[in-house]
């Protein structure tokens, strides 16, 4: 495992001068900012804005200016986070737990808490727009899980320590389920799983945890059926949550509930796009208001309908490029904490991509998980930009550490 680098800096030699110094400085700047990373991220953001503009143009509930505001704020946040040395956060595990609990439970506070579509997931403070604290908590969940596993330096074999780590990682999930927000909860769980795997947890413990998780899911459904027989209603899962799973398992039924209708319209929109799509801002499903939640949960359907297979492949290519660059940044990290941060970010994005695209194609259950850099939402965009900033911070500190090592070796 790489050794935690010192935060002190080493001045480079002064032997070079003139054009050589300028070229060397330019090279260091380009290397520090990781140009391919910046280009891919920029293209993803611009592509997302292009699709969102079309999606909100026929929906009065959404405004493109708010999405632009999210991008503008996100750029500032990304720059600040990138400039910050992430390594200073590695010892703040307890603080991350407290911040997570406060953020995720804040919608339960009277006056500021807002209930939307059966979930108390939003807060409204004065004239400010509604915010989703659980979305911002994704950042602190990643930092929490990374800080927990970093202390084991790539090897976790003690069962008691494993249970302690898992217990701490489950705190955000327990809090988010009080809203309840199953989609965000699943994201938290996946982040924890990535941290455990990349952090070197014993594979036997991981297999046992997976088996216990599956058993608990089955138990929830069985107990809920028993409770319904006794009380006449489901207690553990809301009806819409059950409907989403039932529709996923039986897509050939003629179910016309909200969940069945959403999936049917999503698949029609994707199929109607063909190779080149119906044309930008010419999609019939979302323009007529037939496609539900087009700017948010089903933004992929808008893209597929208007830009077709070519547009879909373009998006997937950008995602693949981002993931590959992310792996390079993780491998270049100067310490375990940085490696885990980047791994959790990339893992979270991969999960969101697979779940969001999969649910629109009928390959995954319908959830409220948004599509990274594409779905409408200022909170969502700010969080994604902050995560880009952390990836940039890990890359920059890794390159700085490499230069220090090279300098020390040369001298």
**Distance between CA atoms of residues 215 and 220, nearest Å:** 9
Q: Which distant-in-sequence residues (6+ apart) come within 8 Å of 140 by Cβ?
A: 96, 99, 100, 103
Per-residue confidence (pLDDT) for residue 189, from 0 to 100: 95
Q: Which two tokens stand for residue 104?
A: 């995720």
**Distance between CA atoms of residues 48 and 53, nearest Å:** 8
Q: Are 121 and 181 in contact, with CB atoms under 8 Å apart?
A: yes
**Distance between CA atoms of residues 236 and 242, nearest Å:** 10
**Distance between CA atoms of residues 12 and 204, nearest Å:** 48
Split the chain (411 residues) into runs of 10 and give each run's mean pLDDT: 41 44 53 86 96 87 90 96 94 93 92 79 83 92 96 93 96 91 91 96 95 89 81 72 66 58 81 88 77 85 93 96 95 93 97 92 83 92 96 89 55 53
Q: Are 381 and 74 in contact, with CB atoms under 8 Å apart?
A: yes
Three-class SS of residue 391? Answer: helix
197 by Cβ neighbours in 10 Å (0-12 / 13-18 / 19+) ranks as middle
Per-residue confidence (pLDDT) for residue 403, from 0 to 100: 55
Per-residue confidence (pLDDT) for residue 62, from 0 to 100: 86
Three-class SS of residue 366? Answer: coil
């Amino acid at each position: 495992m790489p050794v935690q680098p010192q935060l002190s800096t080493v001045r480079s030699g002064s032997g070079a001068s003139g054009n050589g110094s300028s070229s060397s400085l330019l090279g260091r700047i380009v290397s520090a900012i990781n140009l391919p990373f910046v280009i891919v991220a920029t293209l993803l953001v611009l592509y997302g804005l292009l699709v969102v503009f079309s999606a909100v143009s026929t929906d009065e509930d959404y405004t493109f200016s708010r999405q632009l505001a999210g991008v503008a704020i996100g750029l500032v946040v990304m720059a600040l986070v990138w400039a910050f040395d992430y390594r200073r956060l590695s010892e703040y595990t307890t603080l991350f737990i407290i911040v997570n609990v406060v953020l995720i439970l804040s919608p339960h506070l009277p006056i500021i808490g807002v209930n939307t579509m059966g979930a108390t997931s939003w807060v409204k403070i004065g004239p400010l727009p509604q915010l989703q604290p659980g979305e911002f908590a994704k950042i602190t969940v990643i930092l929490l899980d990374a800080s927990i596993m970093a202390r084991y330096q790539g090897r976790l074999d003690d069962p008691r320590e494993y249970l302690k780590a898992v217990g701490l990682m489950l705190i955000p999930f327990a809090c988010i389920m009080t809203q309840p927000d199953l989609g965000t909860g699943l994201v938290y769980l996946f982040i924890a799983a990535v941290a455990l795997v990349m952090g070197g947890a014993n594979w036997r413990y991981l297999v046992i945890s997976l088996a216990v998780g599956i058993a608990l899911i089955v138990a929830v459904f069985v107990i809920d059926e028993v409770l319904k027989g006794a009380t006449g209603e489901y207690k553990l899962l809301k009806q819409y949550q059950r409907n989403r799973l039932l529709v996923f398992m039986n897509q050939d039924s003629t179910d016309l509930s909200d969940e069945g209708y959403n999936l049917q319209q999503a698949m029609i929109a994707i199929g109607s796009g063909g190779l080149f799509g119906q044309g930008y801002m010419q999609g019939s499903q979302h323009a007529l208001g037939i496609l539900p939640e087009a700017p948010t949960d089903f933004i992929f359907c808008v893209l597929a309908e208007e830009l077709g297979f070519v547009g879909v492949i373009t998006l997937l290519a950008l995602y693949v490029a981002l993931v590959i660059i992310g792996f390079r940044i993780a491998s270049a990290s100067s310490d375990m904490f940085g490696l885990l941060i980047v791994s959790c970010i990339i893992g979270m994005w991969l999960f969101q991509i697979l779940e969001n695209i999969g649910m629109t194609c009928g390959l995954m259950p319908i959830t409220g998980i948004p599509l990274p850099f594409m779905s409408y939402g200022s909170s969502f965009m700010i969080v994604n930009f902050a995560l880009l900033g952390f990836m940039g911070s890990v890359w920059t500190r890794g390159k700085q550490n490499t230069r220090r090592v090279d300098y020390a070796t040369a001298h």
